[in-house]
């Protein structure tokens, strides 16, 4: 098979037609879509917890388990962005430095809220659910901040992701939250 520009072709290309996009380019073009899908999954997870707060009296560690799993997923996602995706993105697009700084600042604010949610969930598990209302308020605020943050992130870096950014292993944490 002929190889041109790192692309394997099944045979000679007809003259005058563009070459087939490389696998790496196709993968890069999918990054913005995968980012939006990851954000949608995080929205689903927080909404599931918020809905569950009002539908049952928690007498065991169910709330703690769900909250901690969500907190871990969102934390892993943001660490993958901060420690991998953003660094790689800035190598090719230093013009996004201010945008990435804003996103990283949001991550710090969200981490503070996640710590509060985790603490409240732990107290709820110990007390049989006596602090469900404060958890609900924290989760409502967190959901609003996440929505704003995710929208800003998708608007400001999706095009750059689709232009291509090297995946040095960061995509697993960003898109799959450290789970298989």
Whole-angstrom distance, CA of residue 21 vs CA of residue 26: 7
C-beta separation of 111 from 82 below 8 A: no
Asked if residue 78 lies in contact with residue 35, where contact means CB atoms within 8 angstroms, the answer is no
pLDDT higher for 3 or 91?
Answer: 91
Mean pLDDT of 122-145: 80
Average pLDDT (78-97) is 92
For residue 129, the model assigns a pLDDT of 57
Conformational region of residue 2, where left means phi above 0, alpha means psi within -120 to 50, and beta covers everything else: beta
Mean pLDDT calculated for residue range 151-174 = 87
pLDDT at 126: 73
- 92 pLDDT band, cuts 50/70/90, is confident
For the beta carbon of residue 152, count every other beta carbon within 10 angstroms.
Answer: 14
**pTM reported for the whole predicted model:** 0.76
**pLDDT > 90? residue 154:** yes
More confident residue, 50 or 12: 50
Give CA–CA dist 161/157, Å, rounded.
6
């Amino acid at each position: 098979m002929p190889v041109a520009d790192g692309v394997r072709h099944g045979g000679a290309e007809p003259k005058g037609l563009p070459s087939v996009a490389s696998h790496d380019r196709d993968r890069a073009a999918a990054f913005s879509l995968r980012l939006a899908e990851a954000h949608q999954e995080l929205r689903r997870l927080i909404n599931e917890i918020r809905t569950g707060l009002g539908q049952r009296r928690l007498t065991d560690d169910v709330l703690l388990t769900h909250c901690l799993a969500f907190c871990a997923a969102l934390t892993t996602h943001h660490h993958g962005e901060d420690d991998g995706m953003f660094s790689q993105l800035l190598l090719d697009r230093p013009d996004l430095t201010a945008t990435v700084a804003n996103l990283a600042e949001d991550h710090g604010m969200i981490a503070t809220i996640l710590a509060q949610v985790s603490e409240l969930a732990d107290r709820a598990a110990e007390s049989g659910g006596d602090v469900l209302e404060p958890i609900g308020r924290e989760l409502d605020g967190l959901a609003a901040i996440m929505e704003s943050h995710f929208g800003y992130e998708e608007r400001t870096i999706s095009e750059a992701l689709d232009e291509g950014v090297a995946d040095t292993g960061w995509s697993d944490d960003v898109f799959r939250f450290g789970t298989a």
